[in-house]
Chains A and B, each alone.
Chain A
Amino acid sequence: MATRLLSGNRAERGGEMAIHAVLLGASVISIATTVGIVFVLLSESLRFFDLVSVWDFLTGTVWTPLFRPAHFGVLPLVAGTVLVAGIAIIVAAPVGLFTAIFLSEYAPDRFRRIVKPMLEILAGVPTVVYGYFALTFVTPLLQRWLLPDMIIFNALSAGLVMGVMIIPIVSSLTEDAMLAVPRSLREAAYALGATKFEVATRVVTPAALSGIVAAVILGLSRAIGETMLVTIAAGATPRLTLNPTESVQTMTAYIVQVSFGETPQGTPVYYTIFSVGLLLFVMTLAMNILGQWVVRRWRQAY
């Protein structure tokens, strides 16, 4: 009897260990994904950098990999990316901040419960749909009322629509930070005679500042990595410009442009998408890490 119990225990323990191993194995997949991304981007980029030096790639101002003579200077793509993402964050940072202030400090609970899920829908709309909207609605609107000379594919419409798209990211992270500010701080300010506006802007906003900064950084990182919207609406012209009414090409749009053409493996053009992808990966990773660091470093502990 005792032996049966013991052997049962041993079998049971073996089973438990096997399950533990399976669960750990599943978790390791996420690490393997990161390793895979870094390895793929680096190894394919290294083949590209056999043909073009890293320095020429990073400082060159002409990007014409599909033409002859081919030039591989990535700066026009970086400029296009920064331009569109910059417009987006100029829209999303203030609007997201004001939305968060309204939802966390002013809105009645019922209003918030209806509006928040609707804003979340905004974040869930596929980006091809935003591309269609920018191209067929926003651009004609701007051409008709503001900029009659603007061409169809332009950085401005793409940036504006992308700004609306990332409002929910900025506002929800900001609102979380504001809700974490304790009531006692607000009450102390009211007791000193502050108006509601003064409490919101001089007490709650500074107290939530680390969260707000992180929200803007993460929103910007999202804007840099956004792909379909800019591919559809911002054009396919790599151009070193900061003029928002011109057609540009972002890093992500270039990768899509090359990959939907089924470029054969082994050609220089095939490797360019990995080196552009590597630069994109490094930029967004740096911003995400910076965002997390800001939160950790400056979070007020209450």
Chain B
Amino acid sequence: MRQSQIDTVRGISAEQFHRSLRGRRLVGKFAVIIFLFSTFIGLATLAALIIDVLIDGIPWIDWDFLSTYPSRHPEDAGLRSALFGTIWVAGLTALFTFPIGTATAIYLEEYAPRNRMTQFIELNITNLAGVPSIVYGLLGLAVFVSFLGMGRVVLAGALTLTLLVLPLLIVAGREAIRAVPDSYRQGSLALGATRWQTVRYVVLPSALPGILTGTILAMSRAIGEAAPVIAIAALVYVTFTPGHPFERFTVLPIQIFNWVSRPQADWQHVTAAAIIILLIVLLSMNAAAILLRDRFQRRSEE
């Protein structure tokens, strides 16, 4: 027994109790301030980061910055090749990720028997989500770039990012499918629909907004990733926009990394300007995902 508990058992005077209660309440009030302060550390840092980037970068953003190629001179440097590279890579990644992720989610929720194999697949997906992204870069470098002989091209980058973001989409897709009420499935099966017809015409339409939200969030992760793409693309000086999936490329985060370590002050501004563009792309994708989720939630509540 703790000392305080022994005192309670022995009995203490009312005066002693009230004095200690005042102390306990004071401790509580002090603690709330610390808890609230902690909550604001994250938010304050986010605010400082955004303000810092805006101050450094806003004056450098104009149409030329978006439409010209990188240059050795900061005042001429632009994002054209990085923007097109990001669009190419993200587009292909979405093209691969959406069907594979959705199919895996459908399999695990609607088809998979409850056995060791299924458990193993689930555990495997959980662990894949925790593998550092640079390790995916090594996988892509060894398999797509070297073994399959693709070279350091758009397709190799997109395939690597597909493997990286698949676990995210699978988890989101499974949640969306699980949220479809069982009565829908039973109704469909009772009407004589096969399992696949039930999935295709009943479950998927209801789960689609959730799956699309997951896809958008997975894409925003893919667009922000630099490490695995550097392992694939390397730090190359790209002054063209890729015209097909077998050309070399660069993406926004790599371009930012390329500029950030240059010591001259002007490069810092160019970097900040590129960061603003990247954050605008990501924020609008996240906003789209939130809007989609909200509309879906309202509809299902009706």
Chain B 89-145 residues near chain A, CB threshold 8 A: 99-100, 103-104, 106-108, 111-112, 120-121, 124-128, 130-139, 141-143
Is A285 in contact with chain B by the CB < 8 A criterion? Answer: yes
CB interface residues, A 245-283, toward B, < 8 Å:
252, 255-256, 259-262, 265, 273-274, 277, 280-281
- A interface residue count range (under 10 / 10 to 19 / 20 to 34 / 35 or more): 35 or more
Give the chain B neighbours of A16 by CB distance below 8 A.
194-196
A103 and B226 form a contact (CB under 8 A)? no
> Does B131 lie within 8 Å of A284, measured CB to CB?
yes
Q: Are B36 and A15 in contact (CB under 8 A)?
A: no
Does B227 make an interface contact (CB < 8 A)?
Answer: yes
Structural contact, A15 and B32, CB atoms closer than 8 A = no
Q: A99-B35, A227-B134 are in contact. Are A124 and B282 (CB under 8 A)?
A: yes
Number of interface residues of B (CB under 8 A): 87
Whether the pair A31, B124 counts as a contact (CB closer than 8 A) is yes
Report Cα–Cα, A127/B120, bound state, in Å. 31
DSSP class of A's interface residues: helix, strand, loop or mixed?
helix
Bound-state Cα–Cα, A196 to B241, Å: 60
Confirm or deny: A89 has a beta carbon within 8 angstroms of a beta carbon on chain B: no
A277-B134 in contact given A30-B128, A119-B42, A198-B24 (Cβ < 8 Å): yes
B166 interfacial contact with A, CB 8 Å: yes
Q: Is B154 an interface residue (CB 8 A)?
A: no
Interface string of A144-187 (1 = CB under 8 A from B): 00000000000000000100100110010000000000000000
The answer to whether B220 touches A255 (Cβ under 8 A) is no
How many Å lie between the Cα of A22 and that of B107 in the bound state? 9
Cα A202 to Cα B298 in complex, Å, equals 39
Majority-rule SS of B interface residues: helix
Among A37, A107, A128, A289, chain B packs the most CB atoms within 10 A around the CB of A128
Ranked nearest first, the 10 interchain pairs of A and B with the lowest CB-CB distance are: A225-B132, A126-B224, A197-B28, A26-B103, A98-B38, A102-B35, A23-B107, A227-B227, A260-B235, A288-B130
Interface residues of B (CB under 8 A from A): 21, 24-25, 27-28, 31-32, 34-39, 41-43, 45-46, 48-49, 52-53, 56, 99-100, 103-104, 106-108, 111-112, 120-121, 124-128, 130-139, 141-143, 146, 152, 163, 166-167, 170, 194-196, 220-221, 223-227, 230-231, 234-236, 253, 256-257, 260-261, 268, 271-272, 275, 278-279, 282, 286, 290
Can you show 23 pairs from A to B with CB atoms below 8 A apart? Answer: A19-B196, A26-B100, A29-B104, A37-B135, A98-B37, A99-B35, A99-B41, A102-B32, A115-B39, A125-B49, A125-B224, A126-B253, A128-B226, A129-B53, A131-B257, A132-B256, A132-B275, A224-B132, A227-B133, A232-B257, A274-B138, A277-B134, A281-B135
